[in-house]
Structure 1
Amino acid sequence: MSNSAAAAVLTTADLPEAIRAVRTLLGMADISQGEVDFEAVIRSPDVLAKVRHVLPDLEWRASAGEEHGSSEAGDDPADCLPVQVSDWGRPLDRAEPFIAALGPDPAAVRWDLNAWPAVPEAGLEAISQKYAYLTLTVNSRDLYQAEPSQDHTIHVHVRNRNGDQIARVHWLADQVGGRFTGRVESAPL
């Protein structure tokens, strides 16, 4: 298993602005075989019902631990709130309905892209699928929902923190009116 460096490029309290920025970045990427992954902490029955409508087969476990309930055990998640949910490899069109269902609950939505294309005028080579990811954290500043927040952060993933990779981070941030703050998290791939 390897890791990518997830660099924060835009933080905003305006969720529609964050979604517009994600759409802009997706418009630059090769998404022909892209998919989307989800992680969230669901605290309310209302949000749970909305999320399960969007992703009916999602896996979950009680935040207090699997011994307090899980999808694997066949428990009812509404009886085990708060729950941690995850779902992997979904079609790209599931992302925005999932985000809309979240309400105030924290989540990470990760788009698995085919590639970040080359940008010759910026001196950037293409980045292969292995390191081409984009994550929007909703109501959280970090990838793992450990820092709940009332704002939302876009992270672009690159192979490592060396100069040419960070140059891509700066370039992508510029495309959405953001800026690279230096905040980078390690993200398992």
Structure 2
Amino acid sequence: MSNSAAAAVLTTADLPEAVRAVRILLSRADIGRAEVDFEAVIRSPDVLTQVLHVLPDLVWWASAGEEHGSSEAGDNPANSLPIRVLDWGRPLDRAEPFIAALGPDPAAVRWDLDAWPAVPEAGLEAISQKYAYLTLTVNSRDLYQKEPSQDHTVHVHAADRNGDQIARVHWLADQVGGRFTGRVESAPL
């Protein structure tokens, strides 16, 4: 397993603004074979119902531990709330419905991109799929839902082969009217 550096480029209390920023960044990426991954803590029966409508075969386990319920055991998630979701490799069209279903519950939605393409006018080389990700944290300041908040943060993962990501991060932040705050989190991939 490797790690990626997730740089915060936009934090806002306005979820539609955060989603708009994600759409812009996706339009700047190669996404032909991209996938989306979901991590969340679902506390509410209403949110669970909405999330199950989006992802009927949701991968989850009870926050109290798998012995208290899991999708692998075929348990009913409604009987195990709160639950943790770790559901990977979904089609891109599931991301926005999942985000809309979350209500106040915290989550991280990560797009596994094919690449960040070269931007010759900015002096940026292409970045391969190994280092090209985009994450939106919803109702959480961090990637792991340990710092619940009422705002949402767009993070870009954009290290090149030399581990340098600063120029790309600044360029991507500019694309969405954000700015690189210097906040970077390590993200296992």
Specify the TM-score bucket, using the shorter chain as the normaliser: over 0.9
Offset from partner CA, 1:60-115 (integer Å, 9 cap, x none): 11111112111112211101110001211111000000000000000000001100
Instruction: State TM-score, norm by structure 1.
Output: 0.96
Instruction: State TM-score, norm by structure 2.
Output: 0.96
| Structure 1 position 131 matched with structure 2 position 128 | no
| Structure 1 position 17 matched with structure 2 position 5 | no
Report how far residue 164 of structure 1 moved: 4.2
Structure 1 residue aligned with 2:5: 5
Aligned 8 A contact 2:25 2:176 in 1: yes
Aligned 8 A contact 2:116 2:158 in 1: no
Report how far residue 163 of structure 1 moved: 8.0
Question: Mind listing any 5+ residue stretches in structure 2 that lack a counterpart?
Answer: none
Q: How does 1:95-106 map to 2 (within 5 A)?
A: 95-106=95-106
Aligned 8 A contact 1:124 1:164 in 2: no
Q: How does 1:37-52 map to 2 (within 5 A)?
A: 37-52=37-52
Q: Secondary structure at the match of 1:6?
A: strand
How far apart, CA to CA, are the structure 1 residues paired with 2:85 and 2:49? 13
Are the structure 2 counterparts of residues 116 and 44 from structure 1 closer, same or farther at C-alpha, using a change threshold of 3 Å? Answer: same
Q: Secondary structure at the match of 2:165?
A: helix
Question: Mind listing any 5+ residue stretches in structure 1 that lack a counterpart?
Answer: none
Structure 1 residue aligned with 2:170: 170
- Aligned CA RMSD, in angstroms, stands at 1.4
Runs of 4 or more, structure 1, over 2 Å off, are none
How far apart, CA to CA, are the structure 1 residues paired with 2:164 and 2:70? 43
Aligned 8 A contact 1:158 1:165 in 2: yes
Q: Secondary structure at the match of 1:67?
A: helix
Offset from partner CA, 1:111-152 (integer Å, 9 cap, x none): 011000111111110000011100000000111001100000
How far apart, CA to CA, are the structure 2 residues paired with 1:75 and 1:31? 34
How far apart, CA to CA, are the structure 2 residues paired with 1:164 and 1:185? 15
Q: How does 1:67-106 map to 2 (within 5 A)?
A: 67-106=67-106
Structure 1 residue aligned with 2:112: 112
Name the aligned partner's letter for residue 48 of structure 2: L
Report how far residue 159 of structure 1 moved: 2.7
